[in-house]
Amino acid sequence: MEHRNADRLASRRRRLLVTGAGGQLGRALVDEFAADEVIALRHEDWDVALPPPRLPAVELVLHAAAWTDVDGAESDPQRAAAVNVGGVAHAASLGAPIVAFSSDYVFDGRKGEPYVESDGPNPVSAYGRSKLHGEAAAGEDAWIVRSSWLFGATGHNFVRTMLRLGAERDEVAVVDDQRGCPTYVGHLAAAVQGLLAADAPRGVWHLAAEGDCTWAELAEAIFAAAGLQCAVRRISSAELGRPAHRPAYSVLRSERDRAPRLPHWRDGLAECLARLGVAAA
Ligand SMILES: NC(=O)c1ccc[n+]([C@@H]2O[C@H](COP(=O)([O-])OP(=O)(O)OC[C@H]3O[C@@H](n4cnc5c(N)ncnc54)[C@H](OP(=O)(O)O)[C@@H]3O)[C@@H](O)[C@H]2O)c1
């Protein structure tokens, strides 16, 4: 268990819990909320599929722990649900207000224009279903923050994978028939801070980067920014043949007053590459 006690000279510090603190979003939240007293629990500190350990009382839970293996959820939907539904219920059982993170994959992708909070979900994968049921498990006292295509300087994500492949290969095949909003975890964490600072009402919030692109367009932007001479061969999802269906179009926008606006995904990519020490071309 990691206990962060950052100093703050003015105002009262909150004591808050970050679950999934070793994940890419969890780490960004720990950094963003460093002025508070943060109890940061990693997977090894609390398996959220099990009831919570004994913890000091907290005023807020930022619940970033999740089963995020979208393809793996197809072959083991029960275990995915134990984490993504049971885990949310366990986090909510602590009795503090909770920010529960959900996904663009709660939508089927057939709308063809940006999804707003009042659009009806219809997940097309076991992972998407588990996230939707997890939203319900968060209860009334929750902010449900849906975001999409997360990336950061740590962990498993598309940007890091492409940097590795782009350095090894002359060409990579990348899906060009899924469109979404690649969102930098640092920008999402800051937007969550903004949401709480604005005393925003509970309920569903769509917080994703400005702009949109396909995975192939994102790969090209990564290679261009990193100066990698790697071509992108545009393929279809059917050609890639992954076990889980993914929405063809899952751009998220907010229709709510006071929704924090995130920077463009290209700005997020630039920040992420800077954090990784990748020199811009
Ligand atoms: N990644 C995306 O593109 C994306 C898009 C939209 C929404 N989201 C949502 O955003 C949130 C954060 O995702 P992320 O991208 O930061 O994922 P991540 O990097 O995979 O982090 C998830 C963390 O949860 C931990 N975890 C997994 N099973 C657990 C369990 N049973 N008990 C406790 N911890 C467990 C993982 O630990 P181990 O690695 O040790 O298993 C990992 O540290 C999740 O709710 C996710 O569904 C993600």
Amino acid 13: pLDDT? 87
Please name the residue whose Cα sits nearest to atom 31 of ligand 1.
47
Express each pLDDT in 23-77 by its tens digit: 999 999 999 999 999 999 999 999 999 999 999 999 999 999 999 999 999 999 9
| Successive 10-residue mean pLDDT values, the chain, 281 residues | 41 88 98 97 98 96 98 98 98 96 98 97 98 96 96 96 97 98 98 95 98 98 96 97 96 96 98 90 62
Other CB atoms within a 10 A radius of the CB of residue 110 amount to: 10
Largest CA distance in the chain: 56
Amino acid 2: pLDDT? 46
Catalytic residues, by residue number, are 127
Phi-psi region of 115 (alpha: psi -120 to 50; beta: other; left: phi over 0): beta
Q: Which residue has the tokens 């300087």?
A: 153
Residue of 83, 72, 133, 76 lying closest to 103 (CA atoms): 133
Alpha helices for the chain (secondary structure H): 24-32, 70-75, 77-81, 87-92, 126-137, 158-168, 185-197, 215-226, 237-240, 265-275
Q: How far is CA 16 from CA 60, 81, 204, in A?
A: 5, 25, 21
Amino acid 5: pLDDT? 41
Q: Which of 102, 150, 215, when mutated, tests ligand 1's pocket best, judged by the most ligand atoms within 8 Å of its CB?
A: 150
- Give CA–CA dist 186/180, Å, rounded: 18
For residue 20 and ligand 1, the question of a CB distance below 6 A is answered with yes
Residue of 137, 208, 184, 254 lying closest to 25 (CA atoms): 184
For residue 205 and ligand 1, the question of a CB distance below 6 A is answered with no
- Supply the pTM of this predicted model: 0.96
**Residues facing residue 232 across a β-bridge:** 172
Amino acid 8: pLDDT? 36
Could you identify the atom of ligand 1 that is nearest to the CA of residue 22? Answer: 43
